[in-house]
Amino acid sequence: MALLLLSLVMVTPMLAWNLGGSEKTALGLNYTLRSAQLASGKFTTARWNPCQSAIVWRVNLSGWPAAKQPAMLKQIQTAVAKVAKVTGMTYKYGGTTTFTPRQENLVSSPADIIVAVINPKTTNFSFSENSLGYGGVLWATWYGGDGEGAAVVRGYAVLIPAGMNKLKAGFGGGNTQGNVILHELAHAAGLDHVRSNKQQMYPDLTAKSPNGYASGDLQGLNLVGKKAGCITVPSRVNITDYS
């Protein structure tokens, strides 16, 4: 009856202005889901358990000007509500935090998902000079007499102030802060990058970026949402329930 907690951080940067060339060839056209490898060697979709009572999220706005923090929080709340509506899952705001997501500390996060607008020098994720943000998930896998499985247990969406400051506040098509937030929150929901620049999960923000989630994004979010069905997580998988 063993438990294996994978300290595997899926970092998926959102880059601005510079394209990734050949990197895009391995990406899905309209949507791509994260996958977790089980002890048997099989793969399964890495997703949140839609039957947990709520996914609790908190914000760290320490890298954003104090006078602008209420407006940024409102944008983030709007974006989270969009993800919740598409996935059919309950997201619950848990307030502010000083916690800074790092590769080695996600399992001790004070919420299921942390949205952090922080100086990138305070964390240790990989990013490029033109990065606007990055996000991902941490999952647990288990195996034993009751079978094997996997479930996402932590997520993060980091927004880089220097890049966000160059964008238009609010939502809408093109180079907007709202599009970056939606992109990173979709990573925290389990989506990866795609090849189509008509989708929000394209790895680069451009003037042609869609207004919110496009058809492929919506399809992917549905596949990691409530309609995918409950995940039976054994009681021995001891992960803090913040709901």
Is residue 243 one of the residues assigned to a domain?
A: no
Banded model confidence at residue 243, pLDDT cuts 50, 70, 90: confident
Residue-range definition of the domain harbouring residue 110: 9-14+34-191
CATH number reported for the structural domain that contains residue 105 in this entry:
3.40.390
Lowest mean pLDDT among 75-79, 93-97, 104-108: 104-108
The tokens for 230 are 């409950």
Residue 26's contacts (CB-CB under 8 Å, 6 or more residues apart) are none
Is residue 214 one of the residues assigned to a domain?
A: no
Is residue 63 one of the residues assigned to a domain?
A: yes
78 vs 82: CA distance, rounded Å: 6
What pLDDT is stored for residue 10 in this prediction? 40
| 49 backbone φψ class: left, alpha, beta (φ>0; ψ -120 to 50) | beta
115 vs 156: CA distance, rounded Å: 6
Beta strands, E only, the chain = 3-5, 12-16, 35-37, 43-45, 55-60, 91-96, 113-117, 131-142, 149-159, 204-205
Is residue 24 one of the residues assigned to a domain?
A: no
Backbone dihedral angles phi then psi of residue 10, each to the nearest 5 degrees? -90, 105
Residue 211, SS3 per DSSP: coil
- The torsion angle over the Cα atoms of residues 92, 95, 99 and 104, rounded to 10 degrees, is -10
Split into its structural domains, the chain has a count of 1
Is residue 2 one of the residues assigned to a domain?
A: no
Is residue 157 one of the residues assigned to a domain?
A: yes
Task: Say what percent of the chain tops pLDDT 90.
Answer: 70
Is residue 166 one of the residues assigned to a domain?
A: yes
What pLDDT is stored for residue 17 in this prediction? 28
121 vs 119: CA distance, rounded Å: 5
Is residue 206 one of the residues assigned to a domain?
A: no
DSSP codes, 65-130: -GGGHHHHHHHHHHHHHHHHHHHT--EEEEEE------TTTGGG-SSSEEEEE--GGGS-----TT
